[in-house]
Structure 1
């Protein structure tokens, strides 16, 4: 165990040391460099972006420092790297800042030697490792494809990416936080054994050589930090993590986001948007509070909790535990655990709970009282520093406070679990330690895993430490890993049979040879039994354990112990889970309700006290059949072969066809999948067959047992010999009950091979299937206490009383209940019987017998599909003749609905509802108060007598037809809907259509004609008049319709050429033919089109809308004074009684009359003439001219800023007071006035 604080000033060459120093500061994050020179020692790389070269500023350099076994007590200048102890990479251009980001790159070119990647302002450089040696200096300008390659177009963070595409070659990732309007981009470049050109442009990434990862929102700065994430989802392929410190999850400004992108062997498109992450291809990790800047630094964390999945670490340096202190922030970091379970598309860091990861909280002051600031500015894996098999993480900050300092913090990994949060103040040497700076002015700016730098088998750290005021300004330190940081005791047995006990701390216990008994006690222990049959005992555990020999682990007291070469496990006095492996095992429970899992091998299972479960067999298809007996204490086949059992009460098996036998006690036997046989063997047993066709086996004849039902449970109790203890037994999910005298199926009601009447009994709650066998079989629900819904086609019936369905086999007929039922036939000959209630019957082809019984019953006849055969049936005759009704017989049916055919439905003398559905149907009520609904198509309602024997009225959409000739005759009133023709004995009557003759007609709408739907003028010039209407109309001869306000609906027009409106305000629109539009009273509006139209305004102030409202329309020339038009759509039109005119897009010429007119030219360059009266002349758009007949001196012209008033004040005939708007020129007899 180490001290709580490790001071850099205490490094003495044995535990680490100051390696190199420089006159220039290093970039904040150093990196492991792999074994760059192939000498067996891991190396490190650091960058120094501020180094000048040849009088060029901020060119930058990077340094790979080679690892070695000794010689760490004397630091040397970084400039003395000579190719044997390291190599210098010189930048190229001024302000490149080469080395601003550096990283291990993996083996990018597949030559077996590790490579590095270096970031500059506009380019990245991959430099290949080599065993051939290096010169002291390698200028990056000399990279030529053989010794590395240039990545053109990058700017920002660079990192190892792992093998993202699963091709066996390492890849790299480059972040560009400023890309896409600072949404950010990241670029993944795939490694290759095929070689590289000297330069690779990021614009050439096409999915096969790499791909682009695009940020989401402007200003997010995704790619500011990038890294491999390890294998987070456990699919065997490396994943990526990308930080976006300025993202705004949930509207929280600057909370930050990080994105885990899953690797894949399925290939990548050239571009992947981070907005497309959906849990299957990656997920988003959301920051918590506004301004946290989570994602400022991201990194793989290694396997921190020892579960075999890669974890990640995320820094949020601006997070603050005290929101009142906004100047100096504690900073937070977050370790998120990988897992095999599915990921949701988003994960909030606020949800870390110790099970899925944990939070690391910065501290405010160190032991000297120095102010600390922004932990999480740099985060990294630290490797396995203490050799315990778990990865550590290291976190450092950034100094913003001028009197502050920065430390680094190492947190140890473990499998014993983590709390939801860990404050760095609580690091005590057992869970991690603090790396303290030499002086307040020498803050640690970055720390990272250095690999095994000194070759002692343990990972080390590289720590960057600048001197803020005094040269040397940059220092590179190494901190060596040591097992002294691990609280682990080593206990070694002998080659004989040993009894070994661990301590209450962390132990490594080695049994060596012999049959050893090892008790680990408390702590996180590793037990290696060695040779022989070795057992691990947890009898001292203070709670239940979860041990798996297959997985090599045992969790006790929240701590995970590692089991190696262990064949047996003894549990605790509590409830344990003990799992074997494929070898021969011994699993022992002591007390509690234990669960044992066995696999192949000859196993001994001892349950001990408590009610214990044995899980036997494989849970996969194709598993071998299990045969075992708790009474015999052994197994015979499958995974149970040669197993021995004692103290086991319950058994569950897997996928095979298993045979499980209990003992004389109370057992629970579960067969799982497969066709299983379960035998309780005395006691109060529960027999659960699970899936498949299962058998419950009982020792005596059927009549020795009382069988009852309790919901889904069948209770089987042995009653022949009082005192004999066999039951009551509970049987579930089991199909066959096998007694000594034969099988019994409580779930199936069976008929005989002949014609059967089978009656369902409400007490038969266990029945799942009714099988009529051969013959014509009727199933009756006459005793049911609720309705049923039976479908002979699907062979099922839903019984409302049961709340579930019963399956039917070979049932041809159904009798329903006294409630409302739904009974559906199949395509055979069926008999469907209703008793009481409003039943619904569905028939198909086949000669069916339908008996409605009491209640108002509905028959659904015919096919509900196009081209269905026509139905002809009669309730009065009680039979059907054609289509799906052919050969059917009916009694007690009141209502009928048919389908797609052209059907003929006839009622009886009662009240019927006949619905034709689709098709052209004929409906005949045949007496009574009937409703005849034709549905879709051209339908006929058929009545027995002449038209004059009936009173026909309208009620909304309903036509009421009542027989009135002989009082007392009961035929009506009948309701007819959705029907086009009423057919009487003396002919058809269409109450919905007003028709003309083949000549010229004057057709007048009568307000009493409320049923009218269509007016058809036939041939000739036909005029439709609404002179008697009690409200305005809106007629459109182009669309062939008229809206009648009095009706509140439209009437369809056919072959109508003229319209006379009402005495109210009408809107009358012509078509392209010759029309006559007449208004009577009210302010009417007329719309004309092509054709020689006659427009009669009538009383009221009426408006003519002439011309087309589209570019390119013909010019209109018309005169109300002349009462005619000459061009465009007004050509050959005639007008009377029109006061106002509007025209469209043409250059129009509009002339009024001697009255008061309103002329509107619309679009175009128009010419307007009032022609006397007080006129309003509106030119509209364009350059418009208003013409006056007199001289300029005869008019007074005034303008109020919006309109111009032109008042005639001269001698002779009065030209009125005229209002001119939207016009540019007033033209008088003696010249123009420009407005």
Structure 2
């Protein structure tokens, strides 16, 4: 009853007549409607208002659910979301809307954020956007939490939220219910349809999914990002997040030959983030950089560190790999760069699809570059939708030709292809990193490209519908070996960490004219919401800190928020190996 009332209020607020409520005083109701008890309007036989899309059964009708045709007051069978056959003189029903934001797999942020946190969008009150259309007088948005794996055909039997609006940009006013036990948060699905002034609506849009109340790198599912710090090829340390941030002493220390990692995906869809780590090359005879990727699954107890419970992808020469749902099936996929495949190091990309049982053992998709010595796959990224189709796309750096390729996400195995996105071969510098994020709040992910060396710079490739002829803009920052992208100040636009001179600089999202000085220069960088307040915290790692007393590496964490202070250090993590005789061992390498 409460959800129906919400919808009715939305229709009246928009100045639209609800079906069956247009009867004039004294006029008889139609054959399948009855007069309300107070005699003021026509209602269904069960007393409910015949609102668009409601399933209102007619007496003696065995045909199943029915709805009301506002033009004739007749009860008609309900089909795939279209209210009813339009009156012959009313014109066609509106087209199905084209969705824009959020894309499939988007995380809204930690459920622990305070209800009055100064965030542009609260994690439990998500924002939804779609394209305007001339044939619509209003729109109906539905948000559902029980669609299951086959969500594309979900019929939204009991939507948690239903909003009728005349805008194409809606932020929910009420918090969505989520689990407060690991894994915290909840997966929701959403769809939109367009309606005419008479209340009749067209077909529903596609269905997309998002994870509400969840943040990235949360391996134990408690709503706080966990921090994995690597000693470059020597060992790892795990620091669990909490309301007070990370502890000064790691909960897990283990010898591992990891050189990079990505903790922004859930490969088996159990609600816990998994960690993909790269083990560097092993030289045997004439083999070059064999290496492998190892996937560690998250759980309520944290990462499964034991080797027997890992997924491995042996014999791959991937310099880096990434996690992301590039086929929009609800499971993160494993993307492995192959920069040395091909007769002339053309390079390429392998994709292993996720599933409830984990990733496939053999690559489901193999893509290759046709450019000799391109070394495509030196860096891989899969965290944003650049072309606006709702599916996360893959960004693939080609260090040999100083260029960036992309592989558009696709629901079809044969729908993937490596396509040149931007060529930086005329620039002086070395292409080092590629990240994705929406810096201008237009609903499309942008690509951030880091160039290091003499021509150090950060370039921004703007995303857009179809990603045709994207604009490329140079940011007023120098590149780093690793850049970080996230919404540090919670204003809804992603920010990027770069360098100006000897110190770091965070370029705030929006126009390229605002930035925040960071007193600490990073060799490695990342964002993660360590204390669950809804603001990602900035992590800067230096594997060889200049202070002699901390020469074994250090990680500084700077709290996110609306009032940023890049000179502060809120959490300081030192190399836990404190033996005086130990040589510097590169503590400070951070996952994405």
Normalised by the length of structure 2, the TM-score is 0.51
Query: What is the match of residue 148 of structure 1?
Result: 365
- Counterpart contact for 1:406–1:437, Cα < 8 Å: no
1:169 lines up with 2:394 in the alignment: no
Query: What is the match of residue 336 of structure 1?
Result: 507
User: How many pairs align?
Assistant: 336
Query: What is the match of residue 573 of structure 2?
Result: 434
How far residue 402 of structure 1 moved from its aligned partner, in angstroms, is 13
Query: What is the match of residue 432 of structure 2?
Result: 224
Partners of 1:282 and 1:13 in 2: CA distance: 37
Match of 2:534, SS?
coil
Bigger relative contact order, structure 1 or 2, given CA contacts below 8 A and separation 6+?
2
Query: What is the match of residue 484 of structure 2?
Result: 299
The 3 A distance-change label for structure 1 pair 127 and 33 is: farther
Query: What is the match of residue 252 of structure 2?
Result: 18
- Counterpart contact for 2:228–2:590, Cα < 8 Å: no
How far residue 166 of structure 1 moved from its aligned partner, in angstroms, is 0.4
Partners of 2:274 and 2:366 in 1: CA distance: 21
Query: What is the match of residue 111 of structure 1?
Result: 329
Match of 2:412, SS?
coil
The 3 A distance-change label for structure 1 pair 21 and 128 is: farther
- Counterpart contact for 1:176–1:224, Cα < 8 Å: no
How far residue 394 of structure 1 moved from its aligned partner, in angstroms, is 1.2
How far residue 263 of structure 1 moved from its aligned partner, in angstroms, is 1.0
Query: What is the match of residue 458 of structure 2?
Result: 258
1:213 lines up with 2:419 in the alignment: no
Q: Which of the numbers 195, 200, 216 marks the counterpart of 2:413?
A: 195
Partners of 2:487 and 2:472 in 1: CA distance: 19
Partners of 2:350 and 2:228 in 1: CA distance: 35
The 3 A distance-change label for structure 1 pair 162 and 388 is: same
- Counterpart contact for 1:298–1:313, Cα < 8 Å: yes
The 3 A distance-change label for structure 1 pair 178 and 54 is: closer
Q: Which of the numbers 447, 461, 483 marks the counterpart of 1:240?
A: 447
Partners of 1:409 and 1:233 in 2: CA distance: 28
Query: What is the match of residue 314 of structure 1?
Result: 498
- Counterpart contact for 2:508–2:515, Cα < 8 Å: yes
How far residue 54 of structure 1 moved from its aligned partner, in angstroms, is 9.1
Q: Could you report, residue by residue, the CA deviation over 1:346-365 in whole angstroms, capped at 9, with x for unpaired residues?
A: x6xxxxxxxx2212223xxx
Query: What is the match of residue 128 of structure 1?
Result: 353
Match of 1:196, SS?
helix
Q: Could you report, residue by residue, the CA deviation over 1:676-726 in whole angstroms, capped at 9, with x for unpaired residues?
A: xxxxxxxxxxxxxxxxxxxxxxxxxxxxxxxxxxxxxxxxxxxxxxxxxxx
Partners of 2:408 and 2:459 in 1: CA distance: 19
Match of 1:89, SS?
strand
Partners of 2:275 and 2:557 in 1: CA distance: 19
- Counterpart contact for 1:259–1:285, Cα < 8 Å: yes
1:405 lines up with 2:523 in the alignment: no
Partners of 2:228 and 2:328 in 1: CA distance: 39
The 3 A distance-change label for structure 1 pair 438 and 307 is: same
How far residue 378 of structure 1 moved from its aligned partner, in angstroms, is 1.4
Q: Which of the numbers 301, 312, 317 marks the counterpart of 1:88?
A: 312
The 3 A distance-change label for structure 1 pair 75 and 238 is: closer
Partners of 1:11 and 1:158 in 2: CA distance: 25
1:61 lines up with 2:292 in the alignment: yes
The 5 A counterparts of 1:339-358 are: 339=510, 342-343=511-512, 356-358=514-516
Q: Could you report, residue by residue, the CA deviation over 1:809-832 in whole angstroms, capped at 9, with x for unpaired residues?
A: xxxxxxxxxxxxxxxxxxxxxxxx
The 5 A counterparts of 1:1187-1206 are: none
- Counterpart contact for 2:241–2:531, Cα < 8 Å: no
How far residue 308 of structure 1 moved from its aligned partner, in angstroms, is 1.7
The 3 A distance-change label for structure 1 pair 359 and 337 is: same
Query: What is the alpha-carbon root mean square deviation over aligned residues?
Result: 3.4
The 3 A distance-change label for structure 1 pair 186 and 121 is: same
Partners of 1:87 and 1:159 in 2: CA distance: 20
How far residue 174 of structure 1 moved from its aligned partner, in angstroms, is 0.9
- Counterpart contact for 2:237–2:253, Cα < 8 Å: no
Match of 1:112, SS?
coil
Partners of 2:384 and 2:237 in 1: CA distance: 35
Gap runs ≥5 in structure 1: 206-210, 247-253, 273-280, 288-292, 321-331, 348-355, 363-374, 450-1235
Partners of 1:6 and 1:170 in 2: CA distance: 25
Q: Which of the numbers 244, 255, 262 marks the counterpart of 1:31?
A: 262
1:48 lines up with 2:48 in the alignment: no
Partners of 1:315 and 1:31 in 2: CA distance: 23
The 5 A counterparts of 1:417-496 are: 417-419=563-565, 421-422=566-567, 426-427=568-569, 429=570, 432-439=571-578, 441-448=584-591
- Counterpart contact for 1:51–1:61, Cα < 8 Å: no
The 5 A counterparts of 1:1168-1187 are: none
How far residue 294 of structure 1 moved from its aligned partner, in angstroms, is 2.6
Match of 1:448, SS?
coil
Query: What is the match of residue 473 of structure 2?
Result: 283
Match of 2:410, SS?
coil
The 3 A distance-change label for structure 1 pair 37 and 51 is: farther
The 3 A distance-change label for structure 1 pair 67 and 54 is: farther
How far residue 46 of structure 1 moved from its aligned partner, in angstroms, is 0.9
Q: Could you report, residue by residue, the CA deviation over 1:972-999 in whole angstroms, capped at 9, with x for unpaired residues?
A: xxxxxxxxxxxxxxxxxxxxxxxxxxxx
Match of 2:539, SS?
strand
The 5 A counterparts of 1:702-741 are: none
How far residue 310 of structure 1 moved from its aligned partner, in angstroms, is 1.4
Match of 2:522, SS?
coil
Query: What is the match of residue 639 of structure 1?
Result: none
Match of 1:237, SS?
coil
How far residue 132 of structure 1 moved from its aligned partner, in angstroms, is 3.2
* Rg comparison, structure with higher value: 1
The 3 A distance-change label for structure 1 pair 337 and 131 is: same
